[in-house]
Amino acid sequence: MNFTAMNSGAAGDGGTAGDGGAAMASDPDYLVRPAAEDDIEALVSYEIEIAVVSFAAEAVTDPALHRRRIAGALGKAGEITLVAAARRQPGSPLGWAWLSGRTNSLTGERYGNFRSLAVSDVPDRSRIAELLMGAVLTAADEHQMGQLTGKVHAGNLGMRALYRKFGFTATHLTMERRADS
């Protein structure tokens, strides 16, 4: 599979899980809905691909680990877990997004931490990614998250462009040095 992928952060707290009017994303061909247990195997594939895109040879690709993480987030307060699917096949995910509600330990302000956004390599890939991002932003607003953060690999131009299209700006740059460099 080939995806537009992004990954960041860790689990959060507060809010209502996976809702936010996401199923109301209006598109004649696609819908966005809360992720469900029946979606887990497809979501595991997305998470593994995100890990490979983000971390290459260092990616954690253990399906059991990803299955546990996803299963733990579904329905959990503060976890916004959404799936995009074709209206004619609503049970077959074409994309996946995961945003965790967090609280700033210094200010007490709520914010959202993007964990994942991935879309299958299908003809309407960009359109589906935009529907997912729009649904996540709606859910974040409904959960009163005043700020959203996320990480994207420097080489993931598709996700960087999607972020920019939805008003995100580059704020921090992570620098790495490997001992073997």
Q: Which amino acid is at 99?
A: L
* Structural domains of the chain, ranges and CATH numbers in brackets: 3-165 (3.40.630.30)
Q: Three-state secondary structure along 102-148?
A: EECCCCCCEEEEEEEEEEECCCCHHHHHHHHHHHHHHHHHHCCCCCE
The string of pLDDT tens digits covering residues 80-124 is: 999 999 999 999 999 999 999 999 999 999 999 999 999 999 999
The string of pLDDT tens digits covering residues 18-68 is: 444 444 457 999 999 999 999 999 999 999 999 999 888 899 999 999 999
Tell me the pTM.
Answer: 0.83
Asked whether the beta carbons of 84 and 31 are under 8 A apart, the reply is: yes
Distance CA 52, CA 66 (A): 13
